[in-house]
A and B are shown apart, each in its own frame.
Chain A
Amino acid sequence: MTIQTKPTRAIRFRGRSFLALVLNPELPVGEWLGEVDAWLGRSPGFFGGKPVVLDVTGLSLDRKSLPALIADLAQRQIRIMGIEGAEAKLASPDLPPFLSGGRPASFMGRPEPEPEPVKTAANPAAHSLLVEAPVRSGQSIVFPEGDVTVMGSIGSGAEVIAGGSIHIYGALRGRAMAGAYGNARARIFCRKLEAELIAIDGLYKIADEIEPQLRKKPVQAWLEDETMKITLLD
């Protein structure tokens, strides 16, 4: 006869770092929320399923206004996983945890890219992603680790979000967001600009704001002193 003994178990903790989108509201908060609404109008569901951290540095929020802001964001389907830059005394069990020590994302070692529907070949050494098929309407390619190269076109209603630059050898008809995790040196290159939206480091232009003479032309876009420049490639 054997006596069964319960094996000892341990709860294991492991530290792991992840990339998150950081929202940094500006004063007055009401106006800033209006901008968020405008953004969501153009990109419905943009924040859905993406980890979002709220950076409240400089907003001097209190015991009332901080939960109110979180509720305002929740109403817009933006779920906050952590708060950065808030006074420690504001912490409460009803709020997301307070974070510290966040670093701007760079191109250093990162966890695996998110799964996405298009067959792609990530090269971990070079931190770049090669997309050989066209990116079709409704598809979203998210690659925080670095540059994305698309061999075909990005369709209307499709999006590519990269930590680094985005190179498109076809037409850009949807959205391209380069440097999306904090990188003002990222650029966007495409062979034919018909974009619905292009963004670098969070600064964006929509179709209506792009000069008509650049439409359907090969261009590059980059940031200079917090403004977006778009010029013809040839």
Chain B
Amino acid sequence: MAEVMVVTSGKGGVGKTTSTAALGAALAQTGQTVAVVDFDVGLRNLDLIMGAERRVVYDLINVANGEARLHQALIRDKRIETLYLLPASQTRDKDALTEEGVKRVIGELRERFDWIICDSPAGIERGATLAMKYADLAVVIANPEVSSVRDSDRIIGLLDAKTEKAESGQRMEKHLLLTRYDAARAGRGEMLSVEDVLEILSIPLLGIIPESEEVLRASNVGSPVTLNNAASAPARAYMDAARRLCGEDVAMSIPMHRKGFLDRLFGRRAA
């Protein structure tokens, strides 16, 4: 049965698009059919991260408004044949999307795919509420810092109030993906700890993605990090998260910073 999953955060730039691409690719690599859908109308990014920007013809708005058929707009990934992208429009206004249009597109996607992953725009306005509206489950992205966590708290409130699932009295399944986790800075107490974030948000943890240059490197060549360097730490963390989404029990470890020579030398002398 199809699962519609929204990747959302409230705060901008925390890793929604990176995570949508990475999780989408990881799920598709298991042979399941996956569509990643860019809801960031006017600021589309997912096509770049997926390396499909030069193949965009039609977009989500065209399909939602009946100007194009779904199969005309879907772009098949060149690396994984079960992975598809439904891009956003870069030129249209976000008000061009209607609830009815989105509902119809999601309904059509449900018939073709095992996973439909909606990359939400930042904020709590229309674009973000449309991206979550018809979802069955949510991946809430947060960075370990106060403002990101508070925005995620706000988004969780909206997931529990403004989605079709919530409105019909059902419980929205929510998972926390903690991204850009810098073990060295966490060790120095410069960021919220994993426990702090979990205590504040009180939703189950799907995974911890370390801060890594690999993420930028992958996006520069238009590849989800899970495909570009599958052995890298962020890729492995995303693959573990994808397996947890499929119901597998995968042990989770908090990334630790191995103390370097200088840290050991100066570590004791902190004022």
Contact = CB atoms under 8 A, between A and B. Distances in A.
B124 to A, nearest CB: 7
Contact of A137 (B154, B161, B199, B202): B154
Contacts of B158: 138
A111 to B, nearest CB: 23
B150 A157 contact: yes
Given A137-B150, A137-B151, A153 B202 contact: yes
Given A152-B202, A155-B200, A137 B153 contact: yes
A136 B160 contact: yes
A117 B150 CA distance: 18
A136 B157 contact: yes
A156 interface: yes
A137 B146 CA distance: 12
B200 A117 contact: no
Given A155-B150, A157-B150, A138 B157 contact: yes
Contacts of A156: 146, 150, 153, 200
Interface residues of B, number: 14
A138 B152 CA distance: 11
A160 to B, nearest CB: 13
A95 interface: no
Interface in A152-189: 152-153, 155-158, 171, 173
B145 to A, nearest CB: 13
Interface in A116-165: 117-118, 133-134, 136-139, 152-153, 155-158
Main secondary structure of the interface of A (DSSP, over half): loop
Contacts of A171: 199-200
A138 B200 contact: no
B225 interface: no
Contacts of B151: 137
A133 B202 CA distance: 10
A86 to B, nearest CB: 41
Contacts of B202: 134, 152-153
Nearest to B156: A136
B72 to A, nearest CB: 39
A191 B161 CA distance: 26
A153 B200 contact: yes
A43 to B, nearest CB: 16
Nearest to B10: A137
Contacts of A158: 153, 157
Contact of A173 (B124, B154, B160, B200): B200
Nearest to A157: B150
A210 to B, nearest CB: 18
B160 A133 contact: yes
Given A138-B124, A152-B202, A117 B157 contact: yes
Given A138-B124, A152-B202, A157 B154 contact: yes
A134 to B, nearest CB: 6
B176 to A, nearest CB: 14
A117 B129 CA distance: 15
Nearest to B157: A136
A153 to B, nearest CB: 7
B161 A117 contact: yes
B212 to A, nearest CB: 29
B205 to A, nearest CB: 16
B14 to A, nearest CB: 15
Contacts of A133: 160
A136 B158 CA distance: 9
A139 B154 CA distance: 8
Nearest to A116: B161
Contacts of B146: 156
List the 10 shortest-distance A-B pairs measured between CB atoms, nearest first: A136-B157, A137-B154, A137-B153, A138-B154, A117-B161, A155-B153, A156-B150, A136-B153, A139-B157, A137-B150
5 contacts: A117-B161, A137-B150, A155-B200, A156-B146, A156-B150
Given A153-B202, A155-B153, A155-B154, 11 more contacts: A118-B160, A136-B153, A137-B151, A138-B124, A155-B150, A156-B200, A157-B150, A157-B153, A157-B154, A158-B153, A173-B200
